[in-house]
Chain A
Amino acid sequence: MVQWSESERTIINGIFSHLDYDDLGPKAFSRCLIVYPWTQRYFSSFGNLHNAEAIMGNANVAAHGIKVLHGLDLGLKHMDDIMGAYAELSSLHSEKLHVDPDNFKLLSDCITIVVAAKLGKAFTPETQAAFHKFLAVVVSALGKQYH
């Protein structure tokens, strides 16, 4: 089980309590599709993803970005059992969606970048460390049920 210090819990809860999901979800997800274009392989039904402009203007991308960012709420609500909390989603990503778990890290890097851009100087090294730890645990949990 992952141990969280009081300071880490405070930082992580603080980030999420001020998070604008409708803004950052689309930004993080579209950035992932642009910076790591092979991730587009899972979204052939989303329509036009031919270039950065198309991706950033795509309504399916935006909606999915919001959905995925809210997926982090599960970890936030169950910080003391993130593995357990994501077991079902992990199976879904493995057995139904067939997503290579290496992609989770790519998306989490993009989430980090857009949160950093939003918070600016407030995204201190300590804030980055706590957020990175949280995302790393979620990413690990999502990969747990793959076999």
Chain B
Amino acid sequence: MTTLTAKDKQTVKAFWAKVSGKSEDIGASAVARMLVVYPQTKTYFSHWQDQSPNSPAARKHGKTVMMGVGDAVTKIDDLKEGLKELSQLHAFTLRVDPANFKILSHNILVVMAVMFPTDFTPEVHVSLDKFLAAVSLALAEKYR
């Protein structure tokens, strides 16, 4: 869908360097918002005893997701290859409908706005949005 320009990659890396220290909080907040604002996403977590947005399971999941995002930043020059295994996991084991990648991406952006209002400029927003879209595409690569 979209190629990341050199400027996009630079912007994403610089912004990630600023925010990655808070990645657990970012992840926890993004997942909590996803579960509350888009309750249909809870269907993927019926195996959790506690599906509430601030449960330990939800927090842990937020941490897992943001570790994946951080990993993707290091593989930004070839996301398709770099996220091959994660794509296989999502395609064959998790089978998450890719529409949900967009939903979680949106919530990650909302959290960035909440936590880093001055750093999350329109320029950072567009590069990060493109990056998350590219990550989503790479994750869906093995689906069919």
Contacts and interface: CB of A to CB of B under 8 A. Distances in A.
B37 A113 contact: no
Interface residues of A, number: 23
A125 B32 CA distance: 7
Interface stretch (B41-49, B62-70, B118-126): B118-126
**Does more than half of chain B's interface fall in helix, strand or loop, or is it mixed?**
helix
Contacts of B33: 125, 128
B14 interface: no
**Does more than half of chain A's interface fall in helix, strand or loop, or is it mixed?**
helix
B36 A129 contact: yes
Interface of B: 32-33, 35-37, 53, 106, 109-110, 113-115, 117, 120, 122-123, 125-126, 129
Interface of A: 30-31, 34-35, 52, 55-56, 109, 112-114, 116-121, 123, 125-126, 128-129, 132
Given A30-B122, A114-B113, A117-B114, 7 more contacts: A34-B126, A109-B106, A112-B110, A113-B110, A117-B113, A123-B114, A128-B37
27 contacts: A31-B122, A31-B125, A34-B123, A34-B125, A35-B122, A35-B125, A35-B129, A55-B122, A113-B110, A113-B125, A114-B113, A116-B113, A116-B114, A117-B113, A117-B117, A120-B114, A120-B115, A123-B114, A125-B33, A125-B35, A125-B36, A125-B37, A125-B53, A126-B36, A128-B33, A128-B37, A128-B110
